[in-house]
Amino acid sequence: MDTTCKELYLSGDFKDHDDFVKCYGVINDAVARGVLNGISQPGWFSQPKEDMGPALYFECVGDGSIWILVAPERAFRGYWKKIRSAKV
């Protein structure tokens, strides 16, 4: 794989809804290309209560890192970030 998961999309809070839509498209493309796999919420992770939007979880095929995509909801902007570093 030429693309590492941290290079897919800038990690952090979304600037606006369009930023979320763009990230969601990049992630869907990465899943289609076999760079990311959609997974269930890891048992060791609890989504913070202040996160108002629904979450999707992904594992990076290249290094095993785990990522979360949280959708915007009302004033909450949502985000894309790593929740577990690469497997060692």
Range of the domain at 79: 13-43+50-84
In this prediction, residue 1 carries a pLDDT of: 40
Q: Is the pLDDT of residue 16 over 50?
A: yes
Q: Which two tokens stand for residue 23?
A: 């990230």
Q: How many domains does the chain have?
A: 1
In a domain, 6, yes or no: no
Q: Report the alpha-carbon distance of residue 26 to residue 11 in Å, rounded.
A: 13
Can you give the pTM of this predicted structure? Answer: 0.89
For 22-81, write each residue's pLDDT tens digit: 999 999 999 999 999 999 999 999 988 888 889 999 999 999 999 999 999 988 999 999
In a domain, 4, yes or no: no
In a domain, 7, yes or no: no
**Sequence-separated contacts (24+) of 36-41 with Cβ below 8 Å:** 36/5, 36/8, 36/60, 36/61, 36/67, 37/61, 39/66
In this prediction, residue 74 carries a pLDDT of: 87
Neighbours of 66 (CB within 10 A): 20
Q: Is the pLDDT of residue 15 over 90?
A: yes
In a domain, 2, yes or no: no
Indicate the DSSP class of residue 65.
Answer: -
